[in-house]
Structure formats: C-alpha cells, structure tokens
Amino acid sequence: MGIIARVCDTVSTPTVPPDYYRALYEAEERHWWHRGMRAITVALLGSRLQRPGLRLLDAGCGTGGMLAWAIERAQPAEAAGVDVSEEALALAANRAPGADLRRASVAGLPFADESFDLVLMNDVLQHVREDEVQSALGELRRVLAPSGSLLVRTNGGLRARRASAEWRVYDRASLAIVVTTAGLYCLRLTHANVLGSSWATLSGHSPQEPGEGMHGVPEPTEGRADALMERLLHLEARYLARPGRSLPYGHTLFALAERA
C-alpha cells in the first residue's frame, strides 16, 4: 500500500490554534483517554477487526493515531485515511506510512462505492457542519460494503445541544436519528467514560467547542490518577465486550452501525 496524497482545492481547513495538531499527536501517543478509547473500540468491534482481507477507512484520521493502531491491531489488506488538514496528514504519514492518505472532507470521499469493510469516524461528526451531517453519513454508507460496519465516536451527553453550526453534543436519541436517516442501522449505542465524565460534570466542566485560542487537547501526564482513569476505561471495555450492553452516561458516545 502506498501513500497517495491528493489535495482537493475545494476542501477547507478548519481554523485551529497553531499547536493543535502537534498537541493531538502527542496526546494520541500517551494520554490515558486515547488508550482507553482504543480498548473500548476493540470491545465494540470484536471479531470485525479480524476479518480476512479487511479493507479499512479512518474518516477524519487527524494525525493518524487511531489509524496506525488499527493497522497494527487488524493487519488489514488495505488501509486508508482522509482528513481536511495537510498538516494532520503529514503527521499521519509518519505513523502509518503504508496507508492511502488523502486530503478530503468526509462529505466528499474520494473512493468508489462499497470500498471498505470497516469505517471508523472518531471525534469528527460533532464538527461536521449541520447542513452536511446527512451527506457525510451518506458518504460513509456509500463506501461501506454491504456486509461492512461503521463505528462512530462523538461528543455525548444526556441532552443534545448545539453551540454552533460546526459543533454539537449528541445524546443517544439524536445520534440514532442522524445515523438511521442516512440509511444505516444502529447495532449498538453506548456512552463511555462514565466516572471520568461524571467527575468532570460535578467539577463544572463539560465538552466545549474548541476555538482559535483553545485547542481543548489534554496534555499527557503520568501518575496514579492517570493510571486509574485508564484502568476504569478498560473495565468499561470489558463490560461492553458482551453483546447488547451499554453505559448510561459519559461525554463520549459510540454508535456501531451497518447498512440498512
């Protein structure tokens, strides 16, 4: 698999602080939340990660942390990633040198119909413009093989809220609606990071829209508290590994879907 960087002049790059992608790159390597989210991803996908001849797409791959991990874990026959940022893709190329990396929006994927058996979209849906959400999910459905699976991870809460046209928090009902409206069937819907999110809420912190002066990426640290938080996410993963289980609260929300 060779790297293919295709720049589309119509793709706009979001305005982010100058250190955003470097901070994200470091966090994906070392922060307990990212490590815990990978464990939950394994729990929800199960045997889908061992599918022979797997064709994998990370839609909105950012700096490539999840894509590189998925390549190492699943050993796919084909792996691809798209993002709107050239800077992010350059960092992703360091991590996943064998992946097909392209600059594109999730609302306009440069791939043929039914190209992938597994599509991941992590922390992207909440940033998709409100008027492009359905076209983005429709694109993911279009490139998904009939027997394929889509795993979406996004902002979550007990109540949906929208801060702007380009940032929102989903609850279970609102996420289910946008997924099913795009012609997909939800197999699982669950929150994650129950205790961490509960503590953040009690401390007066909730997910906020990033801006030019605040990237919102936590700085990696090491200590007992970090080890405990990661351990709690691994316990959540063990619980969610059983089919049909879900968690009632958390600032992270997952939807596992397939073509309806």
Geometric angle at alpha carbon 37, from 17 and 12, rounded to 5°: 35
List % helix, strand, coil for the chain (3-state, nearest 5): 40, 25, 35
pLDDT number for residue 213: 53
pLDDT number for residue 3: 39
How many whole angstroms separate alpha carbon 54 and alpha carbon 47? 11
Domain limits, the chain: 23-53+109-208+217-259
How many whole angstroms separate alpha carbon 5 and alpha carbon 236? 37
User: Could you please report the per-residue DSSP string of 34-92?
Assistant: HHHHHHHHHHHHGGGGG-TT-EEEEET-TTSHHHHHHHHHH--SEEEEEES-HHHHHHH
pTM: 0.90
Give 10-residue mean pLDDT values along the chain (260 residues): 39 71 92 96 97 98 98 98 97 96 97 98 95 97 98 96 88 98 98 92 68 61 87 98 96 97
State which H helix or E strand residue 95 sits in: helix 86-95
Half-sphere exposure of 223 (CA within 13 A, CB side): 4
pLDDT number for residue 211: 57
Q: Are 125 and 158 in contact (CB under 8 A)?
A: no
How many whole angstroms separate alpha carbon 122 and alpha carbon 258? 16
How many whole angstroms separate alpha carbon 229 and alpha carbon 231? 5
CATH superfamily of 23-53+109-208+217-259: Vaccinia Virus protein VP39 (3.40.50.150)
pLDDT number for residue 8: 40
pLDDT number for residue 152: 98
